[in-house]
Amino acid sequence: MQTESATVPTFADVAAAADRIGSRLLRTPVMSSAALDKRADRRVVFKCENLQHGGAFKYRGALNAILPLAMAGNVTAVATHSSGNHGTAVALAAKVCGLDAYVVVPRDSARPKIANIEQAGAELIYCEPGLPAREAALAEVIKKTGAHLVHPFDDARVIAGQGTATLELLAEEPDLDVICTPIGGGGLIGGTALAAKAMAPRCRVIGAEPQMADDAYRSFKTGKRLSVTTPATIADGLRGSIGVLNFALLQSHVDDVVTVSEREIVDGMRIALQDLKLLIEPSSAVAVAALLAGKLGTSGQRVGIIISGGNVDLEQCPFLRGETIK
Amino acid sequence: MQTESATVPTFADVAAAADRIGSRLLRTPVMSSAALDKRADRRVVFKCENLQHGGAFKYRGALNAILPLAMAGNVTAVATHSSGNHGTAVALAAKVCGLDAYVVVPRDSARPKIANIEQAGAELIYCEPGLPAREAALAEVIKKTGAHLVHPFDDARVIAGQGTATLELLAEEPDLDVICTPIGGGGLIGGTALAAKAMAPRCRVIGAEPQMADDAYRSFKTGKRLSVTTPATIADGLRGSIGVLNFALLQSHVDDVVTVSEREIVDGMRIALQDLKLLIEPSSAVAVAALLAGKLGTSGQRVGIIISGGNVDLEQCPFLRGETIK
């Protein structure tokens, strides 16, 4: 699918995004836990984008794409497909900017995410899981409504916006040895890598993926952009395949990609809850799992992790059940 | 049981505590959620003592009691009884100050709390639930070891230390209409009320209790200090009865006490997790439940809640089960 902003972004785009949207974001806290540091045998800080508007980092990219469109004044609506968080972000950013929003949503998305998109004021269009179905449904919506596409990840404006979280993290914690984010379509890792390599050149940038959705891992290792179809991972935000621009940044700016099992993801979520007292979504737990598996740096190093979101279906998660007391 | 510091504390004691211990505390964040504001139809801010050292506000009071003892140099050990968080706090504060710590723990305390006390370096002594058993076991420990008693709540130094959380909250959010904390033995509500009435005189101070452990509620309403024995509430931190000094402050400085059901407590915990992305313990959820039941202020007002702790047994909580993915 053609993106509107189809050139690989640079650090200048991230810096411009920070200027443009910085004052409209929540300055999310950077948190840590002595218990978790001990467990991981290194110092770990967490940039808590689960506390961002819409409960995920996605608001950064969406706002960076939509705000200039609204200010230019020649667009009345935006559209996207999303497993959830990007949809909410587009809906919120569109509302803030006075535009309509249409969001194509796969039926297997986490229910709270769907509810969030709707509450944020978007019109929902359901589709089957998998990228082809999503893209087909979105193309039809755009044809029908004339809405402007805001792609969830394969868009320079979106990637640049996502990078602003790392600028904030490095402003507070400049001496990181490693920064890690999960990889879905690659918007977050791309923006993160641009920011980190410019602001902290000796800091290694590592992406984390579920073994069950390891397209970026295989792409990184083989040098060929590969995809997955309907991957069976609990990390619902990481079921998409890596985008074109994102793969280019993965090759040029990222030091490594590591993978973790489904069991490790659930344990990571549980340990974040126990030690950090934070609800993080399974997609975010992928990076925590990589940490706990010893795959991020070495003992004694300083690690930064972007907690990508906190929208969890409490009724579906293996250890978060919907029961109430008798 | 006789406390070491058996006079009712004043605001001067809270201010002195802040000077004494302020730099040794974590400055816990003040958090909020647009979703929760909407749900409660008022602006609500949460002082996140679940992120304090030891995972609870209790470190403030323990450190304020123990630091001067250690500096005076005529004490080598401290002792207390605790359902968990105060025990961890005493152990941590004793370790920081170079003293030994003995903690009497009721067998029905949440397991992670017991593990925390042990990891913090205290020697554990188990006893049966209920205040008489706790006090008897503690008296024996003190007789045997010569340790100095740091009472969990009925101690002016402890109460004054707990009040420092509210000083920090009001520094960030000076215009609160209501401040609410849960009530167990009354250390937190006492210190909170001292701080609030001095710094924000028009702010109402409201205590929240489980209906199943409503000793402070009944004491407040009748003007007579009453107690509960082995109350069957999920809020394991609130099973104690209100202390002597604490009751005096409840009468002189607190505007109201409200109660909530067990069902409301669990729902409060769940909603904090969903909206704030924060794990709070059932005792803290009592205040959130009071908010959601419309018992804290009126629509449009500004409410501050002290989140007292985040030490939850994930295996025992009704909606937080210990299952892992297959």
Report ipTM for this prediction. Answer: 0.88
DSSP element (H, E) containing B205: strand B204-210
DSSP string, B109-152: S-HHHHHHHHHTTPEEEEE-SSHHHHHHHHHHHHHHH-PEE--S
Determine whether the interchain pair A277/B279 forms a contact, defined as Cβ–Cβ distance below 8 Å: yes
Determine whether the interchain pair A278/B279 forms a contact, defined as Cβ–Cβ distance below 8 Å: yes
pLDDT at A316: 64
Mutate to test the interface with B, among A96, A118, A233, A277 (most CBs of B within 10 A): A277
- Rounded to whole angstroms, how far apart are CA atoms A248 and A187? 11
DSSP element (H, E) containing A303: strand A302-307
**Mean pLDDT score of chain B:** 92
* Chain B residues near residue A280 by CB distance under 8 angstroms: 277
Determine whether the interchain pair B319/A322 forms a contact, defined as Cβ–Cβ distance below 8 Å: yes
Q: State whether the Cα torsion B112-B114-B117-B119 is positive or negative.
A: negative
More confident residue, B316 or B290: B290
pLDDT above 90: percentage of residues in chain B = 84
* Chain A residues near residue B320 by CB distance under 8 angstroms: 273, 319-321
Q: What would the pLDDT profile of B169-213 be if each residue is shown by its tens digit?
A: 999 999 999 999 999 999 999 999 999 999 999 999 999 999 999
pLDDT at B320: 59
pLDDT at A326: 34
Determine whether the interchain pair A266/B320 forms a contact, defined as Cβ–Cβ distance below 8 Å: no
| B71, burial (CB in 10 Å: exposed 0-12, middle 13-18, buried 19+) | exposed
| Residue carrying the six token digits 């995004």 | A17
pLDDT at A83: 73
Q: What would the pLDDT profile of B33-79 be if each residue is shown by its tens digit?
A: 999 999 999 999 999 999 999 999 999 999 999 999 999 998 999 99
Mutate to test the interface with A, among B30, B271, B320 (most CBs of A within 10 A): B320
pLDDT at A238: 92
Pull the structure tokens for residue B80: 């207390």
Determine whether the interchain pair A310/B277 forms a contact, defined as Cβ–Cβ distance below 8 Å: yes
Q: What would the pLDDT profile of A151-196 be if each residue is shown by its tens digit?
A: 999 999 999 999 999 999 999 999 999 999 999 999 999 999 999 9
Q: For chain A, state the CA radius of gyration.
A: 18
Q: Quote the pTM value.
A: 0.90
Q: Which of B31, B278, B320 sits opposite A320 (nearest CB)?
A: B320
CA distance B321 to chain A (A): 5
Reply yes or no on whether the pLDDT at A322 is more than 50.
no
Mutate to test the interface with A, among B27, B315, B325 (most CBs of A within 10 A): B325
